[in-house]
Amino acid sequence: MTAFVGAFALRKPLERSFVLSASEPSQPKRQFSLDFSLALTVGLAVMIFNMAVFKFPVSSGLKVILGCGVAGFFLSLDTSLARERAVIQEILATDMVLPPPTRLYPMTRKFSLVALAATLFVSAIIGLVISGDVAWLAKIGQSSMSVTQAQQAVTFEVFFVMAVLLIWVVNLIISYSQNLKLLFENETSVLERVSQGDLNRLVPVATNDEFGVIAGHTNTMIEGLRHRLELISALKLAEEVQQNLLPQEPPSLPGLDIAGTSIYCDETGGDYYDYFERSDGQLGVVVADASGHGVGAALLMTTARALLRQRAAMTGDLADIVSDINQELFKDVQESGRFMTMFLLEIHPAAKTLRWVRGGHDPAILYDAAEDIFSELVGEGMALGVNKNFEFQEITREGLTPGSVIIVGTDGIRETHNEESEMFGLDRLRKVIRKHAAEPAEKIQEGVIDALRAFQGDAPQEDDITLVVLKLV
């Protein structure tokens, strides 16, 4: 009793210096080491005292150490689990977020070590009890009463030892189940918040076993979701900004009906269209398509828009404008391998003339409603950003007739696929134009978009779609 009291008196200061000073996940392990060492120290002290004062044999002292070791083993496991429980509750109360364990101690390994140690200790205790009882039975008398009393005594002794060990085991099971309950509630409560869109809490990493690893991966997932939401918010803002860069309404020009739209397959895209006024009642129209889609294409589109607006305000024909833009764009994209196709068109409704430059873009479509004839505004040209010194050509066409429809679009129109992987193609586009040619430009545009959606069905949109419709009236 004196030895246990002394060990108990030393336990608190040793706990503060050895256990509480360590990191939270390692405190339960240190708690077990401290309490088990104290139990063995008590057994050793009693053994030395008995041998010195009462001349007990060494075998008797070893039995004391074994008894203290068994008791200390189960008590230390219990205090270790209590320390783990306290750490979990402290971390939960303070919302402390620790990094995932760098070294994993699997639960199977823990269970195996506990089971092995418990088996060895219990076997040793039962062996000592049985050997002691056998030696005792050999010394007692052979009368029926003495044998009966011996049987009762041995039975009571064995049952008593088994009952104590069973109580310790049940206590450990209850204590560990409480810890598991805390860890499960901790994990599930945070995951429930995540499922409801609340990403403000992380899972506290309180152990260095599978629960700690799961908590660490869960926190990584939550951080990734946070980053993704931030990225989505940024993309929404970029989408709003990019939509504001597109014309909010078509210009009003006598003799010309205009409609335009861009539909991106992502939040942002590389398609672009714009209008700019030229001299003598002429209108400039540009449709461009940056390689790829998404944020990178959107940035390239924004750069090209700024270059075009700045250059269009200066003198020079369409070929000069596109050449100057190509030279500046080449400086920005030569290392990235990106490029941009562009179709720059200038229309003079009063003079019924067209001028255009084709920079690697799909030819525009001209439909003469009076003659029911389709033609393409073709011409040699290379995508912008590929060859710095490429010389672009301006092509002119005269004699436009009232009712003529000009369609300038990106390849996302004809390359739209349906669920059978069929492509919308040029023939379907011409049929839609012919069907709606007598209607205003906006109706023609809506007819093309509706036909695309009907053809596409449930297939995903794979590319940006931009369409500008010009109609002479």
Q: What is the pLDDT of residues 421-449, one digit of tens each?
A: 999 999 999 999 999 999 999 999 999 99
Q: Which domains does the chain have, with CATH numbers?
A: 2-227 (no CATH), 250-472 (3.60.40.10)
How far is it, in rounded angstroms, from Cα 250 to Cα 347?
14
- Cβ pair 323, 386 in contact under 8 A: no
Residue of 32, 38, 64, 69 whose CA lies nearest to 49: 64
Locate the DSSP E strands across 145-270. Answer: 256-263
- The pLDDT score that the predictor gives to residue 12 is 92
Burial label for 341, CB within 10 Å (0-12, 13-18, 19+), is buried
How far is it, in rounded angstroms, from Cα 373 to Cα 370?
8
Reported as a single tens digit per residue, the pLDDT across 347-397 is 999 899 999 999 999 999 999 999 999 999 998 889 999 999 998 999 999
End-to-end CA distance of the chain: 111
Report the DSSP beta bridge partners of residue 256: 253, 472
DSSP labels for 156-178?
HHHHHHHHHHHHHHHHHHHHHHH
Locate the DSSP E strands across 37-195. Answer: none
b/e per residue 21-35 (b: at least 16 CB within 10 A): eeebbebbbbbbebb
Kindly tell me if the per-residue pLDDT of 136 is higher than 80: no
- Average of per-residue pLDDT across 129-135: 71
Higher pLDDT, 210 or 11: 11
Higher pLDDT, 40 or 140: 40
